[in-house]
């Protein structure tokens, strides 16, 4: 399976990721705290993007700890480094590369990540490769999404432009091969990798409102970063999307009583520990 990341690398995309983090950060922080990520730990953040997860972890491990974020996009790495410096954080740094290839010596105390495995061609292989850098008894805490490709878009009313925009980016996700049920698969995936996951599983579904709230801005930012994937899917052309006026047209199209939606995205958090004798993964169950 070819691996395609559906979002473009741009300043607009980095702003979108920061806004997205504002929605899901409470669950991410709760996940890390319950997993036991605390002061003094060495942490690896896989697929760190604009740095939000690594920065959160840096606050949890404090000045005696250390966080390394890794991302394949050098522009993201540079941006995340600037954010860390702006916040005065000296216990976090970022490197460009593929987390599946990097090797740490000594192994880290914890691995974290948010919305990473859903974009991997082989999620089990990805998690197994990451685990090479986790010490025995160490923690892995991940957060992944659920996207319903077939059911109705959860925007009310269904006949508004905002609902059409949600259909566009959902089509882009599907075309790119994004794993739609990774959030629900995460627990089983950890077991297949030979881990011992906690049965305390949580999901957060951010719901927003438009036009007075942030819903339309969120939708436009997702569509903007995903235009090539949307066009490639055949769901809409750039002329149909008209990205520069999309939010304005959503506002004009909205009924008097507003629009509410979450466009089928749920964020599931699961954490696990690596056994002191890491058992053989269930590779036959890939």
Parent domain of 238: 11-275
| 4 in any annotated domain | no
pTM, two decimals, is 0.90
Q: Is residue 206 within 8 Å of 262, Cβ to Cβ?
A: yes
Give a yes or no: residue 286 inside a domain: no
57 in a structural domain: yes
**Mean pLDDT computed over 139-146:** 96
Whether 285 maps to a domain, the answer reads: no
Q: Which CATH number fits the domain that encloses residue 72?
A: 3.40.50.150
Q: What percent of the chain has pLDDT over 70?
A: 95
Burial, 122: exposed, middle or buried (Cβ in 10 Å; 0-12, 13-18, 19+)? middle
pLDDT tops 60 at residue 283: no
Q: Would you say residue 166 lies in a domain? A: yes
Averaged pLDDT, 121-149: 95
Instruction: List beta partners, residue 265.
Output: 147
Judged against a pLDDT cut of 70, whether residue 198 lies above it is answered with yes
Quote the CA–CA distance of 199 and 257 in Å, as a whole number: 41
Model confidence band, residue 2 (pLDDT cutoffs 50, 70, 90)? low
**237, pLDDT greater than 90:** yes
Q: Among 176-185, 204-213, 264-273, which stretch is predicted with the lowest mean pLDDT?
A: 264-273
Looking at every residue in the chain, the average pLDDT score rounds to 92
Among residues 178, 276, 266, which one has the least CA distance to residue 229?
178
- CA pair distance 222, 242, nearest whole angstrom: 14
- Residue 112 within a domain: yes
- pLDDT at 48 exceeding the cut of 50: yes
Assigned domain for 120 exists: yes
pLDDT digits (tens, 9 = 90+) for 90-133: 999 999 999 999 998 999 999 999 999 999 999 999 999 999 99
**Percent of the chain topping pLDDT 90:** 78
Question: Does position 264 have pLDDT exceeding 60, yes or no?
Answer: no
pLDDT of amino acid 115: 94
In a domain, 116, yes or no: yes
Residues 6 or more apart whose CB falls under 8 angstroms from that of 77 comprise 48, 69, 71, 94, 95, 96
Q: How many domains does the chain contain in total?
A: 1
The pLDDT tens digits of the residues spanning 150-197 come to 877 889 999 999 999 999 999 999 999 999 999 999 999 999 999 999
Minimum mean pLDDT range among 47-51, 120-124, 147-151, 229-233: 147-151
Residue 134 has what pLDDT?
A: 97
């Amino acid at each position: 399976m070819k691996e395609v990341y559906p979002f473009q690398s741009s300043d607009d995309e980095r702003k979108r990721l920061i806004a997205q983090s504002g929605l899901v950060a409470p669950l991410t922080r709760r996940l890390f705290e319950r997993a036991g990520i605390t002061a003094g730990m060495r942490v690896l953040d896989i697929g760190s993007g604009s740095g939000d997860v690594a920065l959160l972890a840096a606050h949890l491990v404090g000045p005696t700890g250390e966080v390394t974020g890794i991302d394949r996009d050098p522009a993201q790495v540079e941006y995340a480094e600037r954010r860390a410096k702006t916040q005065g954080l000296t216990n976090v740094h970022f490197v460009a590369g593929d987390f599946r290839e990097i090797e740490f010596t000594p192994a880290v105390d914890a691995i974290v990540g948010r919305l990473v495995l859903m974009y991997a061609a082989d999620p089990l292989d990805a998690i197994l490769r990451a685990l090479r850098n986790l010490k025995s008894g160490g923690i892995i805490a991940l957060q992944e999404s659920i996207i319903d490709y077939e059911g109705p878009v959860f925007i009310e009313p269904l006949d508004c432009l905002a609902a059409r925009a949600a259909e566009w980016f959902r089509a882009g996700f599907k075309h790119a091969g994004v794993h739609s049920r990774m959030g629900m698969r995460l627990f089983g995936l950890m077991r297949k990798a030979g881990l011992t996951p906690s049965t305390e599983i949580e999901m957060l579904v951010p719901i927003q409102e438009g036009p007075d709230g942030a819903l339309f801005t969120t939708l436009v930012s997702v569509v903007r970063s995903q235009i090539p994937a949307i066009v490639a899917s055949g769901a809409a052309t750039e002329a149909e999307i008209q990205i520069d006026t999309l939010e304005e047209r959503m506002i004009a199209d909205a009924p008097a009583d507003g629009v509410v939606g979450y466009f089928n995205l749920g964020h599931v958090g699961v954490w696990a520990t690596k056994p002191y004798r890491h058992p053989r993964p269930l590779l036959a169950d890939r």
